[in-house]
Structure 1
Amino acid sequence: MTDSLTRTKKKNKKKSQLNWKKVLVSLIIVFIIICLGMGCFFAWSVYKETEDFSAERLLSGEASKIYDANGELMYTYGSDENGKRENVTYEELPQVLIDAVVSAEDSRFFEHDGFDLPRIAKTFITNLASLRITGGGSTITQQVIKQSYFPDAERTYTRKLSEVILAIQATKEISKEEIITLYLNKIYFGRSTSSIGVAAASKYYFNKDVSQLTLPEAALLAGTLNSPSRYDPYYNLEAATSRRNVVLNLMVQHGYITQEECDLAKQVKVENMLSQSSTTSDSSLAAYVDLVTEEVIEKTGMNPAETQMNIYTYCNQDLQRMATQMANGETYDYTDEDLQMAGSVQSTQDGRIVAVIGGRNYKSGDLNKATVKQQPGSSMKPILDYGLAYKYLDWCTGHTVEDKETTFNSHGSNSWTPKNWDGSFHGSMTISEALVNSWNIPAISTFEQVLDSGGEDAVIEDMKSLGIDMSYEEENGIQLPYAIGGWAKGVSPVELAGAYATVANNGIYIESHTINYVEIVDKNETVNVDQDIQDNATQSLGEDVSFMIRETMLSYSSSGSGSYAYLSGIDNVGAKTGTSNTESGASKDLWMTAYTPDYTCSVWMGFESQALKEGKNTSRYRAYPGKVVGDLLEYLEDNTTEKKSYPDQPDSVEQIQIVAGVYPYQSPSSSTPASSVVTCWAKKGKGPTSTAAEATINNLNSFEATLNSSGTINVSFGAYDTSSGTTYGTVVYVVEVYDESNQLVHTETLSNNTGTINYKPTGNVRVVGYYKYAELEVTSNKVERTINVNTSQLDDVNYTITSNGSTVSNGSTISGTSIAINVHAQNESNTITIQFLSSTGESILDPITFTGSATREFTLDSGFTYTVRVTESNGTNSVNRSTTFTVSG
């Protein structure tokens, strides 16, 4: 048993020793395989990284550029890829720059074959000692390769070997001059993307062309290449100065300059050399540029900050700067820095945006308020309410609407009794009158009927056809407050300008856009944005409906009332204002949108949420949207040489005449008054189906005429019954007076059924009364009354007393002793008697008697009080009047 156990242990020990040998051999084999695999992988990686060498790949793309409507450069992009790069040729590079760069970066550049073996060996030893690749040792050619092939790759030995192989290939295929030119066009010279490439860097630091660089400037640029972020003088002046001096010393060392030249260059202070580039983007263009960028990405799928493009737009730079100044409060004093403005100006008939307002003090990358939705207030009424009434209710533009107190309970409205901005109601009126005064009740009532007839989905589609995205509104349902601007989200200035441009263009919707075409440089491809958009133009509401909206707006926009006064002098302008309020009733959003055959402009003004929370409102700024739109359109009108006209009247509409206030519509008859005839537009076949009856008028049943105490005539008619309507205009009350010989001696027309006739009969008269239409010769029956006038009756005697040119009144005191009494007889045959009485009523002087009107003069004693009695008699009756006065002593 023991021997067996011993033999088993020995056997196991032997097995253990044999296993370790196998393991060791296996490990050696695995190690060899791994080494071979790594070698193959290394070789394969290097091969894959170098197999597709192309000199074309080494070229540096320039920065994308935006050009305005005149083809002038207006913006150059800055990005991590291209910066504000503009390539230069070798001939444009001054020798002093080449010498500085070679001295600082690759002193044997013109001698080696793309790599410098001594430098590589030195760098390899350094990296090996640190057990990692720390960089360095790359020639200028290798740096060009790295920038072109491995800009974001990690530092590995395969990458370094690939750089060497590709550098050798590059040196064989292109000249040293081409390589250093590629290098200088590609490399960073500072922290900013505006300093990528030597041309951009020269502008960035010195605001000059590369060819104008001096020795100290060239040395400074060459010095930044070692560490662009560290040696940018705008951020680290001391380090940049020190590095420049090192480069100058290297240039002496390599024999490019003398020590004297070096010392003189060092004396030039870096801060005195710097001149911040004038190529910094104009902030007044920033909102437009941001809109262009967004559109480029949408239309091409590429970012102009990353892919070199030439982008040709429709920007009017002068107008864009003018609009920006307005938004910033430079043109008008808005006083409150929180007050914001946004807007869009586009060509009416082709959708081309020529200027935008992105917000107050807008900077690149800000939220572009030209595309931000705001509550529209009344600015959508012409389209959403009355325009869709033309479409779904077949109304004509002369339709009569009612402004009266109304409670609404449909379409999401819970017993809503809205009011007008003035708190009043204004009765019957045309659509144009309702729009120019922006009355709410007619608009809401109209929209209610539109929703009943067309439905919510149709309204949403109609708005989408105009370029207004209602997806957010659709989630909550279209409710009656939408009629007066109570939207959940709203519309943007770009959308509203595009919608009204569509209306002005007979309903042809052309997407609002900034871009004409885009040249993608690397692909040698052109994207014709404008042409594609024009080719995809669509009809929106219908040319008939759009034409009718346009004509409606043109009819009231020239009224000169309110904010429309700011559009006076602009030809063929249609416009609509808009105001929305906070829950407390304070003014919040202000709008003005206007169009001409050439341009459409929409401007919003208001406060953002935080300012509104602080209680700010726009009530004192109501005039400004109108001023801004008026000034912008006036500028365009004054500077547009080739003026356009609106598209022609479509065949699907016709001009009609209807009787005002009658529905279904009736054509006027020959007796319909002009004031009741409305000339307007309707969809063909939707005009009057009948003609108004010839005018009739009610009978007059009650009429009275009496003589009043003043001797004039009071009249009283039975009030005219208007319950049957006023189709033929206003009814007036006519009075005619005939004398005893049946001659018409007086006619008077009253607007009310009672009144006093401005006529005083002197004998018996016949007074006739009847109804009549104010504008028609249609009268009722005539009723007459006779008035007997006593011919002997006299009025009060009429006389004046003057002294020294002044009137002597009852109870007065005069200084002069001479007086004149002027008597106006009621009839020249009447007898006049003048008496002077004492204070006790006794006669002082003999009475003076004469016939008819006359003037008599008297001299009185001072210190007495006199009473003058003047009596007039016609032989049957007499009247008298007295005046008492004192002559001072």
Structure 2
Amino acid sequence: MGKKILRSILIAFLVTGIAVILIGCSIALPTFDKSKLEIEYKTSYIYDRDGNEIMQFQSVAGEAAKLSEIPKDLQNAIVAVEDNRFKNHNGVDFRAIGRAVYRDIITGSKAEGGSTITQQLAKNVYLSHEKTFTRKVKEISMAAQIERNYSKDDILEMYFNRITFAGNVTGVKYAAEVYFDKGDRMEELTLAESALLAGLPNAPSAYNPRANPELSIERRNIVLDQMLKYGYINQDKYDAAITEPLQLSEKPGDDIKGMDQEVKYPYYLDYVLEEASKKLGIDAEQVLRGGVKVYTNLDPKLQDTLQNAYKDPNNFPNNAADGTWAQSASVIVDPETGGVLALVGGRDKPDLEHTPQAVLNRASMAKVRPGSSFKPIMVYGPAIDTGKYSPSTILNNKAGTEFPGGYKPNNWKLWPKDKVSMNEAVIWSLNIPAVSLLNDMGVDVGYDYATKKFGIPLKQEDSQRLGVALGDVDVTPLDLAGAYTAFANNGVRTEPFAIREIQNAEGETLASIDVKTHQAIKPDTAKTITRMLKDAVEQGTGTSARISGRDVAGKTGTTEMGQTGGNRDAWFTGYTPGYVMVTWMGFDQSDEQHYLASQGSEIPSALFSKVMSQGLQGRPAPRFDLNVSNKPVEEEKDDKAKAIISDLTAKLQGNKAVLTWSPVDVKDAKYFLFRAEKNPNGTVSNSGGIGELTKPGYTDATIQPGKTYLYSVVVMKGSEKLSDSNFAQLTVPGQEPTNPQEPTNPTGPGTPGGPSGGGTTTPTQPGTPGTTPTVPPGNNDTPTQPGGTTPPAQPGTGSGESGGGTGGGDTTQPNTPGSGT
């Protein structure tokens, strides 16, 4: 109870104080000058990375609309959401101001909130946008004077014509034209469209329906809620409006003032305005008409080259059957400083002028799936950085592999090998190895690297999904560019930014952005990834990105479009020393009529080559530093890698052959020993299995003088063949018997008799499946009985993947791919 009383007293004291200040200011201020209601539009200047002026810009007043032209629903919507007591106060809503001031004092924040429509008009016309108590008091005083000199209708009409609803042009008529092509016929606006427009002044950039349609609809629905709450609409109208789909005009008309402005670098300016608002707290309106100087990181040569490339339709995928253009966005970043050197956020049609903040800047706002270009961030970079894996690590690539949760990814084309190295998986953008590696490493490990090290804003649920390995997440081109700076900058991730500093007309600094970096991965990790991505460009899926005379590394990426056989998105994320460039291509709304058909990442790869080769012409072309300082990692090898035997030897001791080899570090491994006789003419005969052993070493007491023997070992685990050993040759001195005993038919598994038991047993013939060799008895190193295990085909004589020598399928080269992922 005490707190409530204290709060009431405090609010009463504050409101009384404000009222006294208001009366005092009203008396002290000079006579009201109506001419001041005309907004002053000052010219702002934009400078490049070298301090050269590249753009002058000035907001303009949009075409004015009379209140009678503005639909009643739109008028009521503004009042409902911005100032529901507009008809009842004299410019200041003390009740609302009391709540806002109390909140500011309790939370320690600066003055905010509580402004009426009249106060907003006063602030917009007269005053700076600084958030101080002094400004608030002046705003209140000015609002009171406006109320004394104008009717409510006059004030509402001025509000609609002087407040920014969209882009850099003031006025609601301009917004109605930009978004609905109804600027000259606003009476046709629906209730839902009116509510959407009414929601814009609170944050024109954030609620831009082209850039943020979902957020814009949320804001529209809040306006409709307020209209229902205050009785401006009934339930039936509310229900119909809140379910109305967002339908924006494809091409705004050109008959409204403000639609004919030309900007030299429109998308870059868009991002400057976005960054000023989000990172510096400076409204776009203050930049556009505040007479400021904005110093940026823009590189004019690269920006011009990029924009010119975007004018050529041959650089992009085919249009859809209905004529819809395939869209695209590109950004170029300096990996050392993070400076955004060039940026284009879309393909603009020649007959459609680009007005700042009135269109979607896809480079910074469009969140789409990056496909395989995300693998280095989520999988390969983290794996190398843990020290447990290397480019030579053997990875599973078996088609049809099912992972936890029933996830069964496919490669983008059939691949002939069930096992591949990490380097091969990267070069050819194979999907199954990437998922296998993430599953082995742990999704949580990749997730932590992607979010905390590489700065990608992922959702929490992504930390449990293996599909993230293949880029099943939503990112912007700028997000991806920021992440790849770590690979191009010795493991240091640099935050991309466009604005270096904003100054007022007098040269005083209003705000600035400093270079922000952190060590994301080890320098050797970055070099290792760069080496693999360089191979991908030189011989893999990214060959279209090659630039003569320059080192290029990069990763392609595509995402599939349902069962169409085409692609939804196509990416290339590449870098050359000093520059990172990311390009996305696709349709804004993908469906079975709007997708990339047979075209893929070769198109953005080719754009990278064209833009960077032209834009960097005449500039130094340093090489990548790929010298890794650390020793090769001691990685976890798979069973096949650990089962290799290369030291099998055969030595003669008396009349016996003593065979030795090193053990393999594979649990439950068994050794199948084979022997063959080498004839004087070089052919091999009497080849077959001697038996199965559980440990290395064997003494063969069945050799005969004058003969040459070849021995080999096959390592098995269960029914899986792991490896073939080298061949060991032994020639027994003496003369071969003239009348050798005719060999008998082989006895069955475990049947007594054999070489040392008097007589000779013919070895199993090579490649005969399901036949178990006879085990020689009477030997200290006698192998164990096979126990039903089927031995492998003899090395050197088999065929297919289960054979040895040259018969295996692992030597098959993949077909040259068309468009990779």
Calculate the TM-score normalised by the size of structure 1: 0.46
Q: Residue 405 of structure 1: SS of its match in structure 2?
A: coil
Distance 2:434 2:21 in 1: 77
Closer, same or farther in 2 for the Cα pair 1:480/1:193, shift >3 Å? closer
AA aligned to 1:396 is: S
Cα drift, residue 339 of structure 1: 0.7
Distance 1:495 1:671 in 2: 54
1:353 counterpart = 2:340: yes
Closer, same or farther in 2 for the Cα pair 1:562/1:194, shift >3 Å? closer
Q: Which residue of 1 aligns with 2:330?
A: 343
Closer, same or farther in 2 for the Cα pair 1:669/1:565, shift >3 Å? farther
Match 1:654 to one of 611, 631, 640: 631
Cα drift, residue 437 of structure 1: 1.2
Q: Residue 276 of structure 2: SS of its match in structure 1?
A: helix
The Cα offsets for residues 512-535 of structure 1, whole Å up to 9 and x where unpaired, read as 111222213368225342xx2x2x
Cα drift, residue 378 of structure 1: 1.0
AA aligned to 2:346 is: G
Distance 2:494 2:281 in 1: 21
Distance 2:299 2:425 in 1: 36
Closer, same or farther in 2 for the Cα pair 1:73/1:369, shift >3 Å? same
Whether contact under 8 Å (1:717, 1:733) holds in the other structure is no
Whether contact under 8 Å (2:640, 2:723) holds in the other structure is no
Q: Which residue of 2 aligns with 1:605?
A: 585
1:541 counterpart = 2:521: yes
Closer, same or farther in 2 for the Cα pair 1:63/1:385, shift >3 Å? same
Distance 2:307 2:441 in 1: 39
Q: Which residue of 1 aligns with 2:270?
A: 290
Q: Residue 591 of structure 2: SS of its match in structure 1?
A: helix
Distance 1:729 1:315 in 2: 61
Cα drift, residue 440 of structure 1: 1.4
The Cα offsets for residues 630-686 of structure 1, whole Å up to 9 and x where unpaired, read as 112222442424x556568575x33579999778889999999xxxxxxxxxxxxxx
Match 2:448 to one of 451, 456, 461: 461
Whether contact under 8 Å (1:343, 1:370) holds in the other structure is yes
AA aligned to 1:443 is: A
Closer, same or farther in 2 for the Cα pair 1:666/1:380, shift >3 Å? farther
Q: Which residue of 2 aligns with 1:569?
A: 548
1:422 counterpart = 2:413: yes
Whether contact under 8 Å (2:567, 2:595) holds in the other structure is no
Q: Residue 355 of structure 1: SS of its match in structure 2?
A: strand
Q: Which residue of 1 aligns with 2:747?
A: none
The Cα offsets for residues 53-100 of structure 1, whole Å up to 9 and x where unpaired, read as 9xxxx99783222112343333333336999xxxxxxxxxxxxxxxxx
AA aligned to 1:315 is: L
Match 1:382 to one of 376, 379, 400: 376
Q: Which residue of 2 aligns with 1:518?
A: 502
1:367 counterpart = 2:360: yes
Identical-pair percentage: 20
Q: Residue 449 of structure 2: SS of its match in structure 1?
A: helix
AA aligned to 2:393 is: H
AA aligned to 2:503 is: E
Match 1:640 to one of 616, 619, 633: 619
AA aligned to 1:439 is: L
Cα drift, residue 347 of structure 1: 1.2
Distance 1:78 1:424 in 2: 58
User: Which structure has the greater CA radius of gyration?
Assistant: 1
Q: Which residue of 1 aligns with 2:746?
A: none
Whether contact under 8 Å (2:330, 2:363) holds in the other structure is yes
Q: Which residue of 2 aligns with 1:432?
A: 423
Whether contact under 8 Å (1:345, 1:354) holds in the other structure is yes
Whether contact under 8 Å (1:314, 1:354) holds in the other structure is yes
Superposed, 1:180-329 pairs within 5 Å as: 280-282=261-263, 285-303=265-283, 304-329=287-312
Cα drift, residue 331 of structure 1: 4.8
Closer, same or farther in 2 for the Cα pair 1:508/1:538, shift >3 Å? same
Cα drift, residue 600 of structure 1: 0.8
The Cα offsets for residues 862-885 of structure 1, whole Å up to 9 and x where unpaired, read as xxxxxxxxxxxxxxxxxxxxxxxx
Whether contact under 8 Å (1:659, 1:666) holds in the other structure is no
AA aligned to 1:345 is: I
Distance 1:448 1:193 in 2: 49
Whether contact under 8 Å (1:325, 1:331) holds in the other structure is no
AA aligned to 1:416 is: Y
Superposed, 1:751-770 pairs within 5 Å as: none
Superposed, 1:739-750 pairs within 5 Å as: none
Q: Which residue of 1 aligns with 2:396?
A: 402
Distance 2:261 2:529 in 1: 45
AA aligned to 1:282 is: V
Match 1:583 to one of 555, 558, 562: 562
Q: Residue 463 of structure 1: SS of its match in structure 2?
A: helix
Closer, same or farther in 2 for the Cα pair 1:507/1:631, shift >3 Å? same
Match 1:67 to one of 39, 42, 47: 47
Match 1:483 to one of 469, 475, 487: 469
Distance 2:517 2:579 in 1: 18
AA aligned to 1:434 is: A
Q: Which residue of 2 aligns with 1:552?
A: 532
Distance 1:409 1:659 in 2: 20
Whether contact under 8 Å (2:45, 2:56) holds in the other structure is yes
Closer, same or farther in 2 for the Cα pair 1:330/1:71, shift >3 Å? farther
Whether contact under 8 Å (1:344, 1:601) holds in the other structure is yes
The Cα offsets for residues 520-559 of structure 1, whole Å up to 9 and x where unpaired, read as 3368225342xx2x2x311113334333322332344322
Q: Which residue of 2 aligns with 1:701?
A: 676
Paired residues in the alignment total 483
Closer, same or farther in 2 for the Cα pair 1:666/1:519, shift >3 Å? farther
Whether contact under 8 Å (1:658, 1:665) holds in the other structure is no
The Cα offsets for residues 210-269 of structure 1, whole Å up to 9 and x where unpaired, read as xxxxxxxxxxxxxxxxxxxxxxxxxxxxxxxxxxxxxxxxxxxxxxxxxxxxxxxxxxxx
Cα drift, residue 492 of structure 1: 1.5
The Cα offsets for residues 839-867 of structure 1, whole Å up to 9 and x where unpaired, read as xxxxxxxxxxxxxxxxxxxxxxxxxxxxx
Closer, same or farther in 2 for the Cα pair 1:68/1:431, shift >3 Å? same
AA aligned to 1:569 is: S
Whether contact under 8 Å (2:486, 2:521) holds in the other structure is no
Q: Which residue of 1 aligns with 2:575?
A: 595
Closer, same or farther in 2 for the Cα pair 1:158/1:443, shift >3 Å? closer
Q: Residue 631 of structure 2: SS of its match in structure 1?
A: strand
Closer, same or farther in 2 for the Cα pair 1:321/1:279, shift >3 Å? farther
Whether contact under 8 Å (2:345, 2:361) holds in the other structure is yes
AA aligned to 2:508 is: N
Whether contact under 8 Å (1:315, 1:514) holds in the other structure is yes
Q: Residue 71 of structure 1: SS of its match in structure 2?
A: coil
Cα drift, residue 496 of structure 1: 1.1
Closer, same or farther in 2 for the Cα pair 1:342/1:155, shift >3 Å? same
AA aligned to 1:654 is: K
Q: Residue 50 of structure 1: SS of its match in structure 2?
A: coil
Q: Which residue of 2 aligns with 1:448?
A: 439
Q: Residue 638 of structure 1: SS of its match in structure 2?
A: coil
Closer, same or farther in 2 for the Cα pair 1:525/1:486, shift >3 Å? closer
The Cα offsets for residues 286-318 of structure 1, whole Å up to 9 and x where unpaired, read as 111111111122332112124332111121233
Match 1:617 to one of 596, 607, 615: 596
Higher relative contact order (CA 8 A, sep 6+): 2
Closer, same or farther in 2 for the Cα pair 1:403/1:147, shift >3 Å? closer
Distance 2:348 2:472 in 1: 29
Match 2:479 to one of 495, 499, 503: 495
Gaps of 5+ in 1: 1-39, 84-144, 161-186, 196-275, 673-688, 691-695, 707-712, 735-751, 755-769, 773-779, 781-889
Whether contact under 8 Å (1:314, 1:515) holds in the other structure is yes
Whether contact under 8 Å (2:501, 2:509) holds in the other structure is no
Closer, same or farther in 2 for the Cα pair 1:324/1:154, shift >3 Å? farther
